[in-house]
Amino acid sequence: QKEVEQNSGPLSVPEGAIASLNCTYSDRGSQSFFWYRQYSGKSPELIMFIYSNGDKEDGRFTAQLNKASQYVSLLIRDSQPSDSATYLCAVNQGGKLIFGQGTELSVKP
């Protein structure tokens, strides 16, 4: 079992819809969780981080963390074509930042 797993996609949503991206992790001791966005041919860039159970909102983005179930998700409201990218979930495990394989999101106009 991979330490951090994401649904591989690709995920396609129409413009204006909500995109839901999910991530599960294996290490119960993990304390911090990150979502990165990566456009094709570019470096990953941080969208959000979350440390506590529950929801964290930043504009159109909401990160959700459930430590008991060992999952973290990212919701993108009012999806735009410019949101089309690969989204990477990352989990800090003992100082190492471990990434999932990424979910490719395509937002259709």
Partner 1 sequence: DAGITQSPRHKVTETGTPVTLRCHQTENHRYMYWYRQDPGHGLRLIHYSYGVKDTDKGEVSDGYSVSRSKTEDFLLTLESATSSQTSVYFCAISERQGTTEAFFGQGTRLTVV
Site of tokens 């996609």: 9
**Nearest one of 106, 101, 108, 109 to 36, comparing CA atoms:** 101
Q: Which residue type sits at 97?
A: L
State yes or no: residue 98 binds partner 1 (CB under 8 A).
Answer: yes
- Please select the residue that binds partner 1; options are 34, 84, 85, 105, rule is CB under 8 A: 34
Mark the segment that binds partner 1 (CB under 8 A) among 13-21, 30-38, 63-71, 74-82: 30-38
- Please select the residue that binds partner 1; options are 51, 66, 80, 81, rule is CB under 8 A: 51
In the complex with partner 1, the residue whose CB is nearer, 31 or 78, is 31
State yes or no: residue 19 binds partner 1 (CB under 8 A).
Answer: no
